[in-house]
Amino acid sequence: MTDQSYAPTSEFAAQANGTADLFDAAEKDFEGFWADQARKYVTWSTDFEQPLDWSDAPFAKWFVGGQLNVAYNCVDRHVEAGNGERVAIHFEGAEGDTQTITYADLQKRVAQAANALTELGVNKGDRVAIYLPMIPEAVVAMLACARLGAPHSVIFGGFSADAIRSRVADAQARVVITADGQHRKGKVAPLKAAVDAAVTGEDSCVEHVLVVQRTGADVEWHEHDLWWHEVVDKQSDQHTPEPMDSEHPLFILYTSGTTGKPKGILHTSGGYLTQAAYTNSIVHDVHPESDVYWCTADIGWVTGHSYLVYGPLANGATQVVFEGTPDHPHQGRWWEIVEKYKVSILYTAPTAIRACMKWGQEIPAKFDLSSIRVLGSVGEPINPEAWRWYREHIGGGSAPIVDTWWQTETGGIMISPLPGVTTLEPGSAQRPIPGISAEILDDMGEPFTEAEKVGYLVLTKPWPGMLRGIWGDNERYKDTYWSRFGEKYYFAGDGAKYDADGNIWLLGRVDDVMNISGHRLSTAEIESALVSHHQVAEAAVVGAADDMTGQAVWAFVILREGASQGEVSDDIVNELKAHVAKEISPIAKPKSIMVVSELPKTRSGKIMRRLLKDLAEGREIGDSTTLTDSSVMDFIKSNLSKS
Ligand code: PRX
C-alpha cells in the first residue's frame, strides 16, 4: 500500500459505465453474466445457444452457435442506427495532414477494401499480413479482413524483413498490405523494402503485395505489387457482410515467448469482440456520444487491436489516430493533439509517461488539457511516481487512472480498477474486473492471500477474449500456459503479490521474456539473433531494470576466435547492436553488450541468467554455487567495472 489512495468522486461514479453491481452479477452466474455482456455489446445475426463450451479445455468455445460479422459490428450497425455522421476517426498525420472519417465514410472505405481483397482472390479463412504505419488504411484493412472472415496478421512496422518473413510463412499469408514508406520525425523511412526482402523467393506463399501510397517515395516494383489506390478506389462502396461463426478466427498476432520462435496467438470473433467492447466501456468509461478517446498504441500490438480498432469501434466511439511520435516536431505534440480534439480519455504506456516527465511538466502546462477525464496505463507496471505525475500534470489532479493488466493472449483487459468504483492505489492494477478470476500461487501451486508474499499470477476461469491457441501448435499452447500449475490454471508468466488491502501488484515476468518500453521481447530471440552473426559463438541476454524503459536489454557474448575481452573494440559491439536491430527490430537493440570468455553455466549446461541480471542491475550476485566454474562471475564482474 502507498501513502495515499484516491476514491472516485460522486459525480464520476454517477455517470460511470462500470458499476459495483457487475461484480455481484458475475459472481452469481458467471456464464449468464458473460451472455448478458455478449448480447449487450454485440449484434448477433444468429443468437448463440450456449455461452461457454469448456469440454475440450483448454480450447474454449464462447457463444456457441452464435453468428456475427465483426466489421458489421464495428461500422455498419452504427450507420444503421443513425450515427453515420459521427466521427469515427480524427486522423492526425505525422507531418500535420489530417482526415476526418465518419462512420459512414468508414463503412464505404471498408466495403471497397473488402471488394478489392475479394478481387485479389482472398477468401474466407485466407490469411492477410498487414505491415503498415499508423494510417487510416491500417484500420480499414483490418476491418476489411474481418468482414471477409480472412484472419489478419498485423506485423509491427518496426520489425525487420526476417521477422516479416517468418511471420508470413508461419501464417501462410496470401496477401501482404504495406506502404511506400513511413514518416519518421520529419524524414521518410522505407517500409516496403523490408516486405520485398521477405517475400522474394520461389517458395513464398505471397501472391500479391498491396501498396498504400503514403509518402510518395520511390519504391522498387515487382510483378506481384499493386497500388492500393488503383485496386481499392475503383471498387463499389457497397458490400454485404457475411455472418461468421462466433469461433471463426479473427486474427493472429505474433508475440515473443520463451523460445526463439515467436508464437502466433490466435483470437476468434464473438468472445474477443465482446470482451474488447465491454472492457472499453467499463474500464475506459467510453461514452460514445460525448467522449473523444485516444489510445496511443500502434496497431502492430495487441493494444492497438483491442483498444484502437475493435473495442472503441464496436462501441461507436470517436477517436484520435496519430501517425507520429510524441516529440515531433516538438515535445508537446501529444498535448497539442489533446487540446485540438478535446480528448477526454487517454490510454498510453508508462514508458511514454516517464519520457514526458523527463521533458518537464512545463511542456503539458502550455496546453489546455481540461477535456481529460479518464487516463489509462498499459504494458508494464507503472511506478507510483509516474502515476502521480500523470494524474497531476495530464489529468488536472483529478482524472482517475486505470492501470490495466492484460496480455496479447488475454485479448482484453483482465485486472484493472473501474474508474467509478475503485479507490485507486498508485502502482497496482488492483482487482480482476467483473467476470474475470485470478489467484496468486506459491511455488507448490497453492493459492494464498497473505500480503506481501511473492507468487505467480494465474487465471482460474476461461474468459471470452482468451486466446484459442497458438497458430499451428496446439501442444505449445498447452505446454506454455496450462502445464506449469496443472490444467486448472492459466499461467500468465508474471510474478505478483497482494498488499494488505487485497490489491494485486504485478511484479514483472518470471520467465525469459523481457518488457522493454512495454514491448515484449524474448531473451532467446535476441540470443539467436546474436549467434547468427558470424563472429559470435555464444550469447546470453537478460532484461535489466531501467529507469526509463522499464527494462533494458543486456547481452553477454563469447566471440568465435581471435578477440578476447581485453582487445575488443567498440566496432564489434556497435556492429552486433546493428545486427540485432536488423535481424529483429531497433526496439530489440541491446543497451549494453559485453564480450566475455565464459558464461555462467550450471553443470547441466544451462546459462544462469539470474546471475547476469544481478550483475546488470548492480546487485550483489546471488547464489552461484551451482556453477561449473564459480570464478566466471568474478571475471565478468571485474571486466564490467573496467568498462
Ligand atoms: O508482464 C505483463 C506486462 O506485459 C505482459 C504482456 O505483454 P503483451 O502481451 O505484449 O501485452 C501488452 C499489452 C497488454 C504481461 O505479461 N503488463 C501488461 N500490462 C501491465 C503489465 N505489467 C504490469 N502492469 C500492467 N498494467
Map grid coordinates 483498444 to a residue: 307
Q: Dihedrals φ, ψ of 161, to 5°? A: -55, -40
Grid coordinates given for 403: 492501470
Residues 462 and 491 in one domain: yes
CATH of the domain at 587: 3.30.300.30
Ranges 348-357, 430-439, 523-532: which has the least confidence = 523-532
How many angstroms is it from 378 CA to the middle of ligand 1? 7
More confident residue, 597 or 190: 190
Distance from Cα 371 to the centre of ligand 1, integer Å? 28
In a domain, 326, yes or no: yes
Give the pLDDT of residue 574: 94
Per-residue pLDDT of 436-445, as tens digits, reads 999 999 999 9
Rounded Cα gap, residues 419 and 282, in angstroms: 8
Distance 379 CA to ligand 1 centre (A): 4
Q: Which residues contact 634 (CB under 8 A, 6 or more apart)?
A: none
The atom of ligand 1 lying closest to the CA of 406 is 14
Task: Inform me whether the pLDDT recorded for 643 exceeds 70.
Answer: no
pLDDT, residue 528, reads: 85
Q: Hey, whose CA ends up nearest to atom 22 of ligand 1?
A: 380
- Is residue 50 scored above 60 in pLDDT? yes
In angstroms, what is the span from residue 380 Cα to ligand 1's centroid?
5
Angle at 132 between CA 129 and CA 138, to 5 degrees: 85
Closest Cα partner for 172 from 471, 584, 470?
471
The CA 397 to ligand 1 mean position distance, Å, reads 26
pLDDT greater at residue 194 or residue 202 = 194
Query: Domain for residue 123, yes or no?
Result: yes
pLDDT of residue 203: 80
Among 41-45, 493-497, 507-511, 590-594, the minimum mean pLDDT is found in 507-511
Q: Which atom of ligand 1 lies closest to the CA of 506? A: 23
Which residues, other chains included, contact 19 with Cβ-Cβ below 8 Å and sequence gap of 6+? Answer: 418, 420, 421
Query: Which has the closest alpha carbon to 151: 188, 126, 116, 186?
Result: 126
Is 394 contained in some domain? yes
- Around ligand 1, the residues with Cβ closer than 6 Å are 255, 302-303, 378-381, 403-408, 429, 492-494, 506, 509, 515, 520
pLDDT at residue 315 tops 60: yes
The residue to mutate among 380, 509, 510, having the most atoms of ligand 1 within 8 angstroms of its beta carbon, is 380
Dump pLDDT digits (tens) for 558-573: 898 755 444 567 789 9
- Ligand 1 site-directed mutation target among 256, 302, 307, 405, most atoms within 8 Å of CB: 405
Confidence of residue 2 (pLDDT cuts 50, 70, 90): low
pLDDT tens sequence across 25-45: 999 999 999 999 999 999 999
Q: Please state the φ and ψ torsions of residue 175, each to the nearest 5 degrees.
A: -130, 140
pLDDT confidence of residue 565 = 47
What is the average per-residue pLDDT within 504-524? 87
Are residues 497 and 533 located together in one domain of the fold?
no
* Distant-in-sequence, close-in-space partners of 618: CB < 8 Å, separation ≥ 6: none
Report the CATH number that the domain containing residue 156 is assigned in CATH. 3.40.50.12780
Is residue 430 a part of any domain in this protein?
A: no
Best mutation site among 403, 407, 436, 511 for ligand 1 pocket (most ligand atoms within 8 Å of CB): 407
How many angstroms separate the alpha carbon of residue 537 from the centre of ligand 1?
A: 32
Please tell me whether residues 577 and 490 are part of one structural domain.
no
In a domain, 511, yes or no: no
508 Cα nearest atom in ligand 1: 1
Beta strands in 18-125 (DSSP E): 50-53, 61-64, 67-68, 87-92, 98-102
The answer on 592 and 453 residing in a single domain is no
CA 574 to centroid of ligand 1, rounded, Å: 30
∠ CA 77-402-157, nearest 5°, is: 65
Question: What is the Cα–Cα distance from 162 to 204, expressed in whole angstroms?
Answer: 13
Residue nearest to atom 15 of ligand 1 (CA): 407
Model confidence at 260, in pLDDT bands (50, 70, 90)? Answer: confident
Q: Does residue 312 register a pLDDT over 80?
A: yes
**Position in ligand 1 atom list of the atom nearest CA 520:** 10
> What percent of the chain has pLDDT above 70?
97
Task: Give the mutation target among 494, 503, 517, 521 for probing the ligand 1 site: most ligand atoms within 8 A of CB.
Answer: 494
Both 258 and 171 in one domain: the answer is yes
Residue nearest to atom 18 of ligand 1 (CA): 379
| Residue 259 domain flag | yes
CA dihedral of 569, 577, 630, 521, whole degrees rounded to 10: 180
* Residue to substitute in 424, 519, 520 for testing ligand 1 pocket (most ligand atoms within 8 angstroms of CB): 520
Give the closest residue (by CA) to ligand 1 atom 13: 379
- pLDDT of 618: 85
Does residue 498 sit in the same domain as residue 522? Answer: no
Q: What is the pLDDT of residues 133-185, one digit of tens each?
A: 999 999 999 999 999 999 999 999 989 998 999 999 999 999 999 999 999 99
CA distances from 260 to 80, 182, 508, 527 (A): 47, 28, 20, 8
Residues 468 and 545 occupy one common structural domain? no
Instruction: Indicate which CATH number applies to the domain containing 461.
Output: 2.30.38.10
Q: What is the DSSP letter of 261?
A: S
Is there a domain that residue 4 lies in? no
**Is the per-residue pLDDT at 629 higher than 60?**
yes
Secondary structure of 589-624 in HEC code, one letter for each residue: CCCEEEECCCCCEECCCCECHHHHHHHHCCCCCCCC
Q: State pLDDT tens for residues 380-402.
A: 889 899 999 999 999 999 999 99
User: Which of 506, 540, 561 lies at the terminal end of a domain, its last residue?
Assistant: 506
Side-chain-side CA neighbours of 117 within 13 Å: the count stands at 33
Same domain, yes or no: 217 and 342: yes
Q: Tell which residue, 14, 12, 23, has the closest CA to residue 402.
A: 12
| Range(s) of the domain holding residue 500 | 439-506
Position in ligand 1 atom list of the atom nearest CA 415: 26
- What amino acid occupies position 189? A
Which residue among 390, 466, 506 is best mutated to probe the pocket of ligand 1, counting the most ligand atoms within 8 A of its Cβ? Answer: 506
Ligand 1 centre to CA of 87 (Å) is 30
Q: Give the C-alpha distances (Å, rounded to integers) separating 525 from 185, 531, 578, 624.
A: 28, 10, 15, 25
Residue 631: per-residue pLDDT: 79
Residues 237 and 214 in one domain: yes
Residue 482 and residue 529 in one domain = no
Predicted local distance difference test score (pLDDT) of residue 167: 94
* β-strands 345-348, 98-102 pairing: unpaired
Q: Which among 254, 220, 235 has a CA at the least distance from the CA of 131? A: 254
- 634: enclosing H helix or E strand: helix 631-642
Segment 596-620 shows an average pLDDT of 82
CA 415 to ligand 1 center in whole angstroms: 11
Q: Report the pLDDT value the prediction gives residue 524, as an integer from 0 to 100.
A: 83
Is 500 found in the same domain as 636? no
How many Å lie between the centroid of ligand 1 and the Cα of residue 402? 14
Average pLDDT over residues 334-354: 96
Copy the grid coordinates of residue 100: 476526418
Tally of domains within the chain: 3
**Alpha carbon distance 46, 629 (integer Å):** 66
pLDDT value at residue 568:
61
> Which residue has better confidence, 638 or 420?
420
Q: For the chain, what is the mean pLDDT?
A: 93
Is the dihedral angle over the CA atoms 64, 69, 73, 76 positive or is it negative?
negative
Specify if 540 maps to a domain: yes
Give which of 116, 498, 74 is closest to 273, Cα–Cα: 74
CA angle at 558 for the pair 553 and 562, rounded to the nearest 5°: 135
C-alpha of residue 382 to centroid of ligand 1, in Å:
11
**pLDDT value at residue 1:** 52
Strand partners, 62: 52
The closest alpha carbon to 369, from 407, 326, 412, 399, belongs to 399
Final residue before a domain boundary, out of 466, 482, 506:
506
- From 353, 381, 403, the end of a domain falls on 403
Do 136 and 161 belong together in one domain? yes
